[in-house]
Structures are given as structure tokens and as C-alpha cells.
């Protein structure tokens, strides 16, 4: 980080900057009426709740959480498939730690491990490749759940696994832009502006959101993660609304370029191709997921280790899907904070570290 960027980051963390931005937001909000803004990124949700930013905003501004937690939007069917694969003889299933406790239709990977399945937490998909090299007698499956942020690392793992016959990937990655298109097309959509994700945008670039702004007339600002970053992005959204504009602006300029990370995109394209995918809360969305290309079929766990997965049973009373599309605040669910807590989660939004329900439970009760 350059000295200039370090100074800017320090400024955006300061109380004086927060107070000044809050005053500027209040001034802009006058005359705009009720404003509903959605943070698409789960990390933004956590940062907003942890820092108490809603208390600095006028009552006319409502911040809503969106489908920005990859663990939360992963449907039960994908969780159930991972659990079923983990139960196969001679299989070691690797995944990130936030996947362990996510409930499927009848269980979780954590419960499968307690029942004897070989389920291991890794910090990188390359760790799973290394495990496959050390353990040729076992079939190692990496459950790849995430957005465009983590997809390049999994693609790199597949490329590095050339020649291995005991490594495969259960691809369950999702693409953010198609989900936003599906969200704004909903009849009940009533969001006036998007705080776009910073991490995803470092990969796909800010230009990827142009259709949302230009075709649907929704202002967009790509934001960083300091409280000052988020406040500045809110101010930028309100300014667009005041001026009657709907554009894609970048507050997080230190990390996000219009075209994104071309090397990462090229790597993803060499391993993955867009496929239809199901999202919790949004349903089936065309070309909103990533599947391994035919040239990478040897590493496709769905082909190498086919398993039967029954239709999802759902969870009576859980309204996680409504939370993910901004139709409901977490505390509007009757289960929130009662039968559904981080210790006893019923839905994935209470499990993930980026889940809206978990963030509200910890910081906004």
C-alpha cells in the first residue's frame, strides 16, 4: 500500500471523517423520501452492523442485506450432495471451515464427520491437492463454494492437479451479476441503490454491473470495507439519486478497476464455464453458476462420484430466502434469536460468518 493510500485508509477510519460523512448524508437525504439501499456483500453486512453505521444515518435510509453470502445462497441440494459424497468409501472431502455447520435437508458436514466421514477443513484448495498427492489411496474431493472471489483459486488448484487421478472438485460457485439481474426483475423489488461487493469486483471489475445501472436504472457504487468507505459509498448513491443518475461508480478505487483482474478471469475461463444454477431465495437462474469444462471432466466430482440426492425438505418457519432478497430483515423471522441462534442454527444465514442473521444477532439485537 502506498503512503497516499495508507493515509486515505487511516482517514476513512477516523471518527471525524465518519461524523462529516454522516452530516453530508443527512443533508443529501432531505427531500429524497424513504431510501432503501442494499449491500450485496456479506462482508459489508458484517462491517455495517459491527460498526453501528445505521445509528449514524437518518431514519429515512434503510440498509438491507442481499444475496452476498455464498454459503447462504447455496441450496440444500448442493449441501446434501457434499454430505453424500463425504459418506462414500475411500473419500476425503475437503472444504472451507464455514461450510461445516451449514444445514442440509437432514444433517451437515459436521454431523457427517462426527458419524465417521472423512471431512477436513482446508485454508486453500491447494491444500486439498497436496493432500491428494500425499494420500494416493484416497479420493480427495474439494467442495468449491463461493463467488468469483474464490473461483480463480479453485481453478488454479485444478490446473496444478494435472496428472492426479485422485483429486476432483464439487463445483458450486456462483456468479454475482446474473443474480443481480434476477433480483431487480422481481415484482417485489424495491431497492433504490446497490452497495456493490468489493472483493468480487476486484476480479470481475466494475463494468460487470453496467446492465443493472443502465438497463434497470439502479445506481451502483462499489465500496470498500472501512466504515468510512461504506459511508462515502452511501453518500455517492444518494448523490446519484439527487441528480437523477443511475451509473456504476467506484469508491474502492485502490483495488477495483473497470475491467477487473484479467489474469484471474482468464484462469477461470480456462477451467470453468457458466451453467444454470439454483440460488436460495432466488431460485434457478440461467448461467449464474460455474461448472467444469468438458476438458476438465477428469476433475469433475459430479461425474467421478455420482450420488443420489433427494429433493430438499425445507425448514418450517425458516425465512432465510426472504432475507437474502431484501424482503425481510433477519429480526422479522419468528425463529430469529429464539430457536435459531449461532449455537443452534436452523438456516444458513445464521451459520456463515458473513450471514445476515448471524451479523444481526451479534451486533444489532
Digit-coded pLDDT (tens) for 295-352: 999 999 999 999 999 888 778 899 999 999 999 999 999 999 999 999 999 999 999 8
**What pLDDT, on the 0 to 100 scale, is given for residue 17?**
81
Contact 324, 356 (CB under 8 A): yes
Grid cell of 279 as nine digits: 440460488
- Structural domain span for residue 304: 1-318
Claim to verify: residue 252 and residue 331 sit in the same structural domain:
no
Claim to verify: residue 140 and residue 218 sit in the same structural domain:
yes
Claim to verify: residue 255 and residue 359 sit in the same structural domain:
no
pLDDT tens digits along 115-161:
999 999 999 999 999 999 999 999 999 999 999 999 999 999 999 99
Grid cell of 54 as nine digits: 445505521
- Per-10-residue mean pLDDT, the chain, length 365: 56 77 94 96 95 94 95 95 97 95 91 97 97 97 96 97 97 97 95 97 98 96 95 97 97 96 97 97 97 97 95 88 95 96 93 93 87
Q: Phi first, then psi: give them for residue 313, nearest 5 degrees.
A: -85, -20
Claim to verify: residue 130 and residue 266 sit in the same structural domain:
yes
Claim to verify: residue 134 and residue 251 sit in the same structural domain:
yes
**What pLDDT, on the 0 to 100 scale, is given for residue 310?**
87
How do strand 139-146 and strand 167-174 relate by DSSP bridges? parallel
Among the candidates 282, 298, 318, a domain finishes at 318
Claim to verify: residue 247 and residue 143 sit in the same structural domain:
yes
Claim to verify: residue 302 and residue 355 sit in the same structural domain:
no
**Total domains present in the chain:** 2
Question: What pTM, to 2 d.p., does this model score?
Answer: 0.93
Claim to verify: residue 189 and residue 306 sit in the same structural domain:
yes
Claim to verify: residue 194 and residue 52 sit in the same structural domain:
yes
Among the candidates 318, 334, 353, a domain finishes at 318
Q: Phi first, then psi: give them for residue 199, nearest 5 degrees.
A: -65, -50
State the first-to-last Cα distance of the chain, in angstroms, to the nearest integer: 36
Neighbours of 136 (CB within 10 A): 11
Contact 154, 208 (CB under 8 A): no
**What pLDDT, on the 0 to 100 scale, is given for residue 1?**
47
Claim to verify: residue 98 and residue 209 sit in the same structural domain:
yes
Claim to verify: residue 107 and residue 160 sit in the same structural domain:
yes
Where residue 140 sits, what CATH number does that domain have? 3.40.50.11740
**What pLDDT, on the 0 to 100 scale, is given for residue 14?**
73
**What pLDDT, on the 0 to 100 scale, is given for residue 3?**
57
Claim to verify: residue 57 and residue 112 sit in the same structural domain:
yes
Amino acid at each position: 500500500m502506498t503512503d497516499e493510500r495508507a493515509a486515505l485508509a487511516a482517514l476513512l477510519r477516523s471518527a471525524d471523517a465518519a461524523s462529516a460523512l454522516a452530516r453530508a448524508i443527512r443533508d443529501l437525504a432531505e427531500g429524497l423520501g424513504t431510501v432503501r439501499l442494499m449491500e450485496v456483500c456479506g462482508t459489508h453486512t458484517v462491517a455495517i452492523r459491527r460498526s453501528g453505521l445505521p445509528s449514524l444515518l437518518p431514519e429515512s435510509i434503510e440498509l438491507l442485506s442481499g444475496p452476498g453470502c455464498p454459503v447462504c445462497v447455496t441450496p440444500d441440494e448442493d449441501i446434501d450432495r457434499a454430505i453424500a459424497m463425504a459418506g462414500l468409501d475411500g473419500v476425503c472431502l475437503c472444504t472451507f471451515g464455514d461450510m461445516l455447520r451449514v444445514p442440509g435437508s437432514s444433517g451437515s458436514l459436521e454431523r457427517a464427520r462426527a458419524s465417521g466421514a472423512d471431512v477436513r477443513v482446508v485454508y486453500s484448495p491447494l491444500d486439498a491437492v497436496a493432500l491428494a498427492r500425499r494420500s494416493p489411496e484416497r479420493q480427495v474431493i474439494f467442495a468449491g463454494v463461493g463467488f468469483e472471489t474464490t473461483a480463480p483459486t479453485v481453478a488454479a488448484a485444478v490446473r496444478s492437479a494435472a496428472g492426479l487421478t485422485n483429486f476432483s472438485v464439487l463445483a458450486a460457485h456462483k456468479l454475482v451479476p446474473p443474480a443481480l439481474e434476477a433480483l431487480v426483475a422481481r415484482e417485489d423489488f424495491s431497492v433504490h441503490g446497490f452497495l456493490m461487493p468489493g472483493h468480487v469486483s476486484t476480479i470481475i471489475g466494475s463494468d460487470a454491473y453496467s446492465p443493472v445501472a443502465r438497463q434497470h436504472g439502479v445506481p451502483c457504487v462499489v465500496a470498500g470495507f472501512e466504515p468510512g468507505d461504506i459511508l462515502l459509498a452511501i453518500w455517492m448513491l444518494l448523490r446519484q439519486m439527487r441528480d437523477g443518475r443511475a451509473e456504476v461508480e467506484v469508491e474502492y478505487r485502490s483495488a477495483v478497476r473497470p475491467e477487473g483482474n484479467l489474469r484471474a478471469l482468464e484462469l477461470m475461463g480456462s477451467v470453468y464455464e457458466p451453467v444454470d444454477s439454483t440460488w436460495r431465495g432466488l431460485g434457478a437462474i440461467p448461467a449464474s453458476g460455474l461448472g467444469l469444462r468438458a476438458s476438465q471432466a477428469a476433475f469433475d466430482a459430479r461425474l467421478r462420484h455420482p450420488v443420489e440426492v433427494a429433493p430438499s425438505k425445507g425448514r418450517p418457519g425458516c425465512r432465510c430466502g426472504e432475507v437474502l432478497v431484501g424482503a425481510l430483515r433477519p429480526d422479522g423471522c419468528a425463529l430469529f434469536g429464539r430457536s435459531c441462534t449461532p449455537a443452534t442454527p436452523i438456516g444458513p444465514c445464521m451459520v456463515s460468518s458473513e450471514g445476515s442473521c448471524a451479523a444481526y444477532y451479534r451486533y444489532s439485537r
